[in-house]
Amino acid sequence: MMNQDKIGAFISERRKAKGWTQSQLAEKLGVTDKAVSKWETGRSMPDLSLFMPLCVLLEITLNELFAGECISEQNLKEKADEVLMSVIASWLGQEKQVSTAQSAVAKTVLDVQNVSKRYQTKANAVLAVNNVSFQIPHGSFVGIMGASGSGKTTLLNIIATIDKPTSGKISIGGQSIVDMPENEAADFRRGHLGFVFQEYNLLDTLTLYENIALAMTIKNVPAKHVAQTILEISEALGITAILDKFPHEVSGGQRQRCACARALVVNPELILADEPTGALDSHAARQLLGTFSMMCRDYHATILMVTHDVVAASHCDRILFMRDGELKATLNRDAKSKQTFFADILKKMEWIEGESYDVLETVNP
């Protein structure tokens, strides 16, 4: 297991080898002297966002930092696995197995069958999505992972009725969406889908409350239900205190949670999220992911989220892995703990990408 005292002593040793005082190291990292002193005496661990800069400054690898010692080539592999599990535990918290597996009879919300999308440019043709099929049951939180360019956004946009597939069928809540004319599709999006996109803008001239209320008004929710529903959901999402603020007055994480509230209040069949944590710091990202899990558990929302962040993906019930437009594998969390699922996702990515996946890159892409 990860040993905080040992790591602290190692940081201290490497710092001294560099000839730096605690204050000098603190200054390079933009933290207080006290923080460095606490790490070195094993009283606390550096924040996730500092791991990389710390490793660079001390000229050590991430694995060495967590092992609390320099690692030779031979025992690198063994150490790496051992260290990985404890790193994962420290990121995700110690969490027990999840007890309730998805009910086997949950109805299918999204049904994607043999969907392909070909982009034809002057120079060449790209098969951005290649014969992809899958189903998503009601109440589940599903992630789509894959390297940049693997077709994730294209697939999500097709499901969102923003883009049309070249071939294949898709139904949402039993309704076929691929042949819908644009005006019908716009109504369908408002009535049946919720969006939490990285750059999904709230309206700047409306307060957060008004942004959420607008979504409900468009859906003809009776006025007397609006206030009560917004308050209830805002409470659950922890944004009650900022409802009167304008989007530019709150943080990115708070805006994203407002977007979640706006998606939830209209009770859509399916919520779509494209890299929702991409622009957030690690704390805000964790909060947003906790919010998604809560939305599925307490509000029976069904969420499909595109991400390339393994930490984000480990909150899902199931992961779909894409490569070169194809669905290469799926992984179910089942009753596994978040940590075990995280490790499984990393292994699967290594297998799919055919190369060793650096833990750090997945956290700090």
Q: By the criterion CB under 6 A, which residues form the site for ligand ADP? A: 119, 121, 126, 128, 146, 148-154
In the stretch 103-142, what mask flags binding to Mg ion with x, by CB under 5 A? ----------------------------------------
128 binds, among Mg ion, ligand ADP, none (CB under 5 to 8 A by kind): ligand ADP
Give the shortest CB-150-to-Mg ion separation in angstroms.
Answer: 9
Asked whether 323 and 145 are in contact (CB, 8 A), the reply is: no
Give the nearer residue to ligand ADP in terms of CB position, either 117 or 286: 117
Give the shortest CB-144-to-ligand ADP separation in angstroms.
Answer: 8
Give the shortest CB-307-to-Mg ion separation in angstroms.
Answer: 10
What interhelical angle do 252-265 and 282-299 show, nearest 10? 10
HSE-up of residue 146 (Cα within 13 Å, Cβ side): 26
Give the nearer residue to ligand ADP in terms of CB position, either 76 or 185: 185
Residue whose token pair is 């001294």: 16
Give the nearer residue to ligand ADP in terms of CB position, either 126 or 329: 126
Give the shortest CB-160-to-ligand ADP separation in angstroms.
Answer: 12
154 binds, among ligand ADP, Mg ion, none (CB under 5 to 8 A by kind): ligand ADP
Please give the distance of CA 77 from its chain centroid, rounded to a whole number: 28
Can you say whether the dihedral through the CA atoms of 210, 212, 218, 221 is positive or negative?
negative
Q: Let me know if 52 is exposed, middle or buried by CB neighbors in 10 A (0-12, 13-18, 19+).
A: middle
Stretch that binds Mg ion, among 61-69, 70-78, 147-155, 227-235 (CB under 5 A): 147-155
Give the shortest CB-187-to-Mg ion separation in angstroms.
Answer: 26
Question: Out of 12, 116, 150, 153, which residue is the one contacting Mg ion (CB under 5 A)?
Answer: 153
Give the nearer residue to ligand ADP in terms of CB position, either 119 or 351: 119
Give the shortest CB-160-to-Mg ion separation in angstroms.
Answer: 13
Give the nearer residue to ligand ADP in terms of CB position, either 11 or 313: 313
Stretch that binds Mg ion, among 150-158, 191-199, 281-289, 307-315 (CB under 5 A): 150-158
C-alpha–C-alpha distance, residues 13 and 308, integer Å: 35
Asked whether 317 and 141 are in contact (CB, 8 A), the reply is: yes
Helix or strand run (H / E) with residue 306 = strand 303-306
Query: Which strand ranges, in their side-by-side order, compose the sheet holding 167-172?
Result: 125-137, 108-120, 167-172, 175-176
Give the nearer residue to Mg ion in terms of CB position, either 45 or 145: 145
Give the nearer residue to ligand ADP in terms of CB position, either 52 or 178: 178
Neighbours of 40 (CB within 10 A): 21
- Nearest-CB residue to Mg ion? 153
Query: Which strand ranges, in their side-by-side order, compose the sheet holding 141-145?
Result: 193-195, 270-274, 303-306, 141-145, 318-323, 326-332
Neighbours of 144 (CB within 10 A): 28
Give the shortest CB-153-to-Mg ion separation in angstroms.
Answer: 3
C-alpha–C-alpha distance, residues 285 and 292, integer Å: 11
Give the nearer residue to Mg ion in terms of CB position, either 144 or 261: 144
Give the shortest CB-120-to-Mg ion separation in angstroms.
Answer: 20
Asked whether 305 and 337 are in contact (CB, 8 A), the reply is: no
Site for Mg ion, rule CB under 5 A:
153
